[in-house]
Structure 1
Amino acid sequence: MRILVLGFTGFLGGHVVEHLHALPGVRVLRGGRSSAAELGIDLATARTDRLAGVLASAAPDAVINCAGATGGDAVTLAEVNSRGPAVLCAALREAAPATRLVHLGSAAEYGPGTRDARVPESAATCPVTAYGATKLAGTVTLASSGLDAVVLRVGNPVGPGAPLTGLPGRIAGLLAGAGRDPDAVIRLGDLSAYRDFVDARDVARAAVLAATTPGPLPRILNIGGGNAVPVRDMVRALARVAGFRGRIEEDGAGSVRSGDVSWQCSDITAAADSLGWRPSYTLDDSLAALWAATAGAPSLHLEGGRAP
């Protein structure tokens, strides 16, 4: 089976490739902007006809699209998260219409959740950020494409390799910089929001299951931990794992997104029914793996802008 992974150098894409390599009988094709890519594909700038030619030559049985932008201005977000999936769908319709397409969406597409409630895939979408809005546009494109496509709406991914652009990775970087200094002070914004954390390795397993499970799948599946965890608890747990001896202070308001979305929790029942998927890592497992990777890294690398 030939599976093309787009965005293979990113946080989630890297875990997807690692998971695929462990499967017998699977040929992994790497697509992206990196010099390590077997197929040079930049969804933000690709032309449909040229991309169709690349896809026709590669003849993948499935495509897993992990390419996406989490930061940057509205234009960058739209180019990668909205235009990218649209071009990919158009090229697949032309070159390989029977190919299974798995796309990583985001729980940010839902917008504010209701306290103590899990959000099902049928819930209304009301994103409050440009990121969520552009990810939703990509989802709508896939859902209406007529392709054999499924969107995995991912919660807040955490685990080994988490980038500094996300809160868990940023906190791990700050803790690494502080060391065991008892006088160290880490000042953060408001941490009262609740988030649904999911291990990146579990996300990768879900993506591979979605790519290889025969028969039709629901257009949208939630992939999360299935529990709302106070961000404050996550930060404190990571500090304990790191052996941090200083103080963590909440100083002022948090991010706009945290203020507007104080509760986030996904109903993951459909993924269990359709894929036989459930999270296999606890948040403590994820944080321990994140810290081990951070503490063992020779240097911290900030990945900004759009994913390869």
Structure 2
Amino acid sequence: MNMTPTCLVTGIGGFVGSYLADFLHQQGWTVIGFDRSGKEIPNTITHKIDLLDKDNVYSLVQKINPQYIIHLAAQSSVKVSWDKPEETININVEGTRILLDAVIHAGIQNTCKLLVVSSAEIYGPPQQVPMNEDHSLNPINPYGQSRLQQEQLINEYIQKKNLQIIIARSFPHTGPGQLPTFACPSFAQQIVHIEQGKQESIINVGNLDAQRDFTDVRDVVKAYYLLLTKVNFGVFNVCSGHAVAMKDILQQLLHESTKAITIQQDPARMRPSDIPILVGSNTKIHQATGWKPIIPLSQTLRDILNSWRN
């Protein structure tokens, strides 16, 4: 019997996927990835595949016969979800349904454990902070609604089809390599462009009063690994438990900069409905796995800035 666990990671070409592949490889796991882009990931066998391509997903899941699946593939931008609500639902809900059906079709529902990544956007406006996993679910944007539908679908499969699925409700996470459609890398990229003379000394920003709970992506992938290996079922927040205002994040980055920079609010960067504060409780995951984030935000921000400089 092969003692090396095989883990299938969907959306492996995304921001989190490459960190996860690297971490799992360090644990001695065999990592196989699905990705629409077909991007090459070190130490990983990657299949170029669209999750909505049912026949292809079915045959590959059967062929790979994974012990573990981590489902990252998603349309995960709130901003994009306002422009493309149907596509967001299709990728996040139908894509998940096809993957779960593929597990059943391959007959591996008793031997394969799945971790599906959801989002804190599922909670909507906080009734109390920090939000724990029992907080009511009132998403206020199409992305959050797609995650709610995804979780409802998963619960159906757990109850009716006996699948082993853990849900990770991830709060915002960031780190080097994240696309500048997200706030932290956007700030950093603009600062570096100003330092290099490619942009005038004005940084364009959205709502700086919003407070968010950020975790470093390198801590997040450890959380996913620990959930998969130490837990059998349940919903778990993956978060730092601390809120920080976007203006404070921007100030930390500006403090590291070599130039004097003016801040300018850009209406195009304001979201139609922005939750003022989003902060989670990580008590449940800590009790179940011992996980807690260890990389301070100041370090994460410095690393993001340096990755744009290089």
Match in the other structure for 2:202: 185
The separation in 2 between residues aligned to 1:75 and 1:54, in whole angstroms, is: 26
Whether 1:32 aligns to 2:57 is no
SS at match of 2:256: helix
| Contact 2:195-2:259 within 8 A present in 1 as well | yes
Counterpart pick for 2:152 among 108, 123, 140: 140
1:113 is displaced (CA, Å) by 1.5
1:143 is displaced (CA, Å) by 2.6
Unaligned runs of 5+ in 2: none
Q: 1:115-134 counterparts in 2 under 5 A?
A: 117-134=129-146
Code of the residue aligned with 1:223 in structure 2: it is V
Match in the other structure for 1:162: 178
The separation in 2 between residues aligned to 1:82 and 1:244, in whole angstroms, is: 45
Unaligned runs of 5+ in 1: 297-308
Residues 245-290 of structure 1: per-residue CA shift (max 9 Å, x gap): 2222346696235x43111001111111112111111111110111
SS at match of 2:186: helix
The separation in 1 between residues aligned to 2:252 and 2:152, in whole angstroms, is: 37
Match in the other structure for 1:226: 241
Q: Which moved more, 1:118-127 or 1:140-149?
A: 140-149
1:201 is displaced (CA, Å) by 0.9
- TM-score, normalised by the number of residues in structure 1: 0.87
Q: Which moved more, 1:30-39 or 1:151-160?
A: 30-39
Code of the residue aligned with 1:19 in structure 2: it is F
| Contact 2:210-2:274 within 8 A present in 1 as well | no
The separation in 1 between residues aligned to 2:287 and 2:49, in whole angstroms, is: 34
Match in the other structure for 1:288: 302
The separation in 2 between residues aligned to 1:242 and 1:156, in whole angstroms, is: 24
| Contact 2:254-2:261 within 8 A present in 1 as well | no
Q: Which moved more, 1:263-272 or 1:92-101?
A: 92-101
Counterpart pick for 1:14 among 4, 11, 18: 18
Counterpart pick for 1:42 among 37, 50, 68: 50
SS at match of 2:121: helix
Match in the other structure for 2:288: 274
1:54 is displaced (CA, Å) by 1.5
The separation in 2 between residues aligned to 1:113 and 1:121, in whole angstroms, is: 12
The structure-2 alpha-carbon separation of the partners of 1:64 and 1:136, relative to structure 1 and needing over 3 Å to count, comes to same
Code of the residue aligned with 1:225 in structure 2: it is S
- How many residues are treated as equivalent by the alignment? 289
1:244 is displaced (CA, Å) by 3.9
The separation in 2 between residues aligned to 1:39 and 1:252, in whole angstroms, is: 39
SS at match of 1:270: helix
Match in the other structure for 1:107: 120
The separation in 1 between residues aligned to 2:174 and 2:9, in whole angstroms, is: 20
The structure-2 alpha-carbon separation of the partners of 1:193 and 1:38, relative to structure 1 and needing over 3 Å to count, comes to closer
The separation in 2 between residues aligned to 1:159 and 1:243, in whole angstroms, is: 21
SS at match of 1:233: helix
1:189 is displaced (CA, Å) by 3.0
The structure-2 alpha-carbon separation of the partners of 1:141 and 1:78, relative to structure 1 and needing over 3 Å to count, comes to same
Q: Which moved more, 1:126-135 or 1:203-212?
A: 203-212
Q: 1:51-90 counterparts in 2 under 5 A?
A: 51-69=57-75, 70=77, 71=80, 73-90=84-101
SS at match of 1:260: coil
SS at match of 1:204: helix
1:50 is displaced (CA, Å) by 4.3
Match in the other structure for 1:300: none
Counterpart pick for 1:91 among 102, 117, 120: 102
Q: What RMSD over aligned residues (CA atoms) do the two structures have, in Å?
A: 2.1
Q: 1:233-252 counterparts in 2 under 5 A?
A: 233-250=248-265
The separation in 2 between residues aligned to 1:112 and 1:88, in whole angstroms, is: 30
The structure-2 alpha-carbon separation of the partners of 1:252 and 1:73, relative to structure 1 and needing over 3 Å to count, comes to closer
Identity, % of aligned positions: 25
| Contact 1:190-1:253 within 8 A present in 2 as well | no
The separation in 1 between residues aligned to 2:58 and 2:201, in whole angstroms, is: 54
SS at match of 1:19: helix
